[in-house]
Structure formats: C-alpha cells, structure tokens
Structure 1
C-alpha cells in the first residue's frame, strides 16, 4: 500500500488516502490525540496491573519456597518479570494482532505503516522499546507532546518506526451523499469556487446531514451563518432569493464533483504512463 496526500493548490479538498495493492483508494483518518490517550491508558494500565500482580504473586511464592534467596537472584527475577510485562507482552500482542491491542480494540484504532501497510516485527519492536523510555520512564509526557505537534498524531516510537495510528471507525466514507439542487446546477457549473477551509466545509456538510434533527429557529440561524461564511469563497454570488441551505448544497456538491473530475483525469494520466512504460523499446521483439 502507498499513502497519498494531495497538496496541490488547485485542489479544493486534501484527503488522507491509502492506496491498496488493488489500486483502490481508501480514505483514512489518523486517530485523534484523545483516542490515543484513551487507548494508551487502557493498554498501559493493563500492563502495569499485570506487572503488579506478577510481582505480588512472585513475592508470595518466594517467601514460601525460598525464604533465603540472595538479593542478586531476586533482582534478576524481578527484572525478568518487569521486562516481560513492559516489553515481551506488548510486543507479542502487537505483532500477533497486526497493530491492535486491548485499548485500540475499544477505541477502534490500529497501527499501520506510513504507506498504509500492516506493521511487521521490526515496527513493533521499535515502538515497544521506545515506549519503555517515553511512556514508562518519563510517564508518557514526550509521547503526548509528540502526538499534539505532529501531523498524524505520532508519538516518538511512531516517528522512529515509520508508523501511525488510524481510526477505523471514522464515518468519513459512510455519510449519505449530497445532491445538487436542480435550479442551481447551471450557476454552480460556471462559478469560481476557492478552496474552503477544511473545518468550514465539514461544518457545512455536517449541518446539511443533520437539518432534520434541528429546531426550526436553530436550523435557519445556522444555515444563514454558514452560507454567509462560505459566500466570500464563491464568485459570482448565487441568484437572488436562493435559500441558504440550497446554496450550501450547491457549493459542496460542485466542489465534490470538480474534485472527482480532477481525480479521474489524474488516474487516466497515470494509466497512460503505465502503458507507455510497459511497451518494449523500439527494435526489441
């Protein structure tokens, strides 16, 4: 798999895409800092609890079976127990589950490579060993700071391993599509639409999907406010008397359709290049 993030100034949307081996583009969402904190608290809480329980059990057994054990042997056994609970168990779980854990199952997250593929032993080993320092020894402070400042919410272990955590329960691809208002189709096709800020486009899309659940006064107020905020990005202005909700739907639909056209054009160019590169050179049979 490969990862593709469109940053062209001509684009109106910049999705985070994962291209599978079958050349299928899947929109993925990096896990938020909140989800990562929750999953981390669950995971490391379980690991810490298992370490405490193991040490308590070991202490009870040793007092009964070997009360005269030397300090060196005791320290060695305790070190093995701690190593098992902080490194071996997390590493084994992450390798066998392909990037999942108890906390990530609860939050719907999974660790993947930067190119979107499943993580391997080396990725898990780097993440687990780094966690000993950034999570266990420094109480997770570097991990949280790194998640906040990096684009995909990576902790230091992710930066070293070339991985990040995605939210598999994101509803980005499950929302119903918007429909172009017929009376505004001609106007929208001839309109210059500047790139919208991501949060503004998301607010407009969310509003249109939830209009049926809003009170009439709140619906009218929010619709007018969103339309006024999007209007400066559109030229020429819509026909006089256009309802704010119809205006929002027209702009977002046209924006989506133009992006689709550009993506199809790019795909056609890529396929043409692949065919050209696959041809044998002149004179070679």
Structure 2
C-alpha cells in the first residue's frame, strides 16, 4: 500500500510548466528553464576573473623561471613579448574554451552561481560555441581589446535589452545562460484542526514513520494542484494507510483531510517539544554548549604595579 501511495503522488497530474526561455526541443518539448540575468552573471564573471588572475600568476611564475634558466643570449624583448602574448591568449581564450567545453558550459563562476551555458535548442555546447563565446569576450566584451569602453557599454546594453539576458557572445554562438537551480515555491501546510486537538494529543502516532508523514505533507501542500479524481483517490489512500497506524481512530465522521492535517500537526508539535526538552537537558548539563556568545569575552585588564 505504501508503494501505491508514493507512485500516485509522484505521477499525479500537475500543471504544465511554461518555458521561461521559450526553448522547444526537436521532440516538441518545452524546456522550463530560467534565463540568467545581469546580476548573477556579473558575480559569476567576477569569480572567473579571480580564477583567471590566479592562473595568469602561476603561468607567469613558471614562464619567469623558465626564462631565467635559458641562456641570456636567447632571452630578449621579442621573446618576452611573445611569451606575454601567449599567456594572454592561453588565459583569456584557451582557458574558458577548454573549461566550458569539458564541463558542458559550467565555468568555476557559473558553477558557484548555479548557471550553465546551453545551445538555443537546449543541448550542451561544444568547442565551436565555447570558442566563439570566448573570442567575442576576448575582443569585444571582457577584457575587450577592441575599443574597450565603447564595446563594454554596447555589450551591457544588449544584455539588459535582451529578453533572455543574452550577451554578444551568446548571440554569435547561438547560446544562452540558464539557472540550473530553481527556487522552491512556498507550499502551505494546514495546521491543527481545533476540534481534533484533544484526540491528537492522546493518540499513538509512533507507527507513522517519517516516510509516510512526508508523503502526507507533500500531498497536503500541493493538493490544490492535483486534478480530480486523482486527488480524492490519493486522499483516501493516505487516510486509510495512516488510519491503520494510528490508535485510537479519530472521532466518527472526521473528514479524511482534517484527519491527515491533525496527524501531521501533532507529529510536528511532539517533535518540537522533544527538541526543546533535549535543549533544556543539554543546557543543564553543559551550560552554553553549542551557542556562540553575542559579544566575545574581553580578558580583564590588570592594573600595573606601582613603580618603586
């Protein structure tokens, strides 16, 4: 019976999500993805810049050691300029291309911010898309070697004006940046029905385990999203299963919905009471354990001994 409840809850009808990015795959499936905007992308870029700066420092250190070992007649201004250009290309062009290709569009900054680069059709990017994005950024956006201030302003205006937050590199490569992490919507769970509070306080709920209580909580939080008759069938299944584990049974004529609300609210109340009692015992045995002082203690200042 538990298996049936879980399957019904997982496969219950839900509202069809709308694609925030407007992406539709070749199988005519709308992708419910949230495009990344200027704020999250700017923070990801700052993290990537710090990583690239660290990488550039390491490469410059290695290059300096190698050039120090070479004979003096081989080290001249032309070699130094060539090494510098190679380092710039490696850090600003090769590094982002390799990283985004190997990680399917997740640089260090994007990973920290929960972002990913994908193609316009929703697929993972390849070497061509990653190289195009890095090349446009290298020449026009960041650091933008061609007319830096003018191209920066133009790139920023394009990103702000884009309905999907795309920059010049995304437009040229046919990509966009989306959020991998989706915010969990707030779901209201009903509280204790007043008429059932005395019965619930005396009922034995020890047989209602966390897994079954989680299924009840999930149903109560999204019952309004389920269509009939699936919602009523699932409600009856949960009420029968929970009723078989609760003694004594609820008062005669109690609606299944109120019965489940009472059981869930009482479990929550008992858990909070147990947690509070445990904290009291801990405080009694180990005062201050697990708490950080609001203000750090300052050692007393000793008065200097009078000089003779």
TM-score band (shorter)? 0.5 to 0.7
The higher radius of gyration belongs to 2
2:116 maps to which of 110, 117, 125: 110
Find the counterpart in structure 1 of residue 162 from structure 2.
Answer: 150
Matched, 1:33 2:38: yes
Distance 2:185 2:70 in 1: 62
- 1:47 positional shift: 1.0
Find the counterpart in structure 2 of residue 81 from structure 1.
Answer: 87
Contact kept, 8 Å, 1:18 with 1:116, in 2: the verdict is yes
Q: Which runs of 5+ in 2 are unaligned?
A: 1-17, 192-223, 228-308
- 1:157 positional shift: 0.4
Matched, 1:95 2:101: yes
Find the counterpart in structure 1 of residue 64 from structure 2.
Answer: 59
Change in CA separation of 1:26 and 1:14 when aligned onto 2, cut-off 3 Å: closer
Matched, 1:175 2:182: no
1:187-266 matches, cutoff 5 A: none
Contact kept, 8 Å, 1:135 with 1:141, in 2: the verdict is no
Matched residue SS, 1:93: helix
Contact kept, 8 Å, 2:19 with 2:32, in 1: the verdict is no
Distance 2:103 2:132 in 1: 16
Q: What TM-score, normalized to structure 1? A: 0.52
Q: How many residue pairs end up in the alignment? A: 171
Q: Which runs of 5+ in 1 are unaligned?
A: 1-12, 178-208, 213-252, 258-285
Encode CA deviations 1:45-98: one digit per residue, 9 max, x unaligned. Answer: 211231133224422442344444121122112211111111111100011111
2:134 maps to which of 128, 134, 137: 128
Find the counterpart in structure 1 of residue 14 from structure 2.
Answer: none
Find the counterpart in structure 2 of residue 163 from structure 1.
Answer: 175
Encode CA deviations 1:120-157: one digit per residue, 9 max, x unaligned. Answer: 11111110100102111327544333221111111110
Distance 2:169 2:20 in 1: 25
Matched residue SS, 2:31: strand
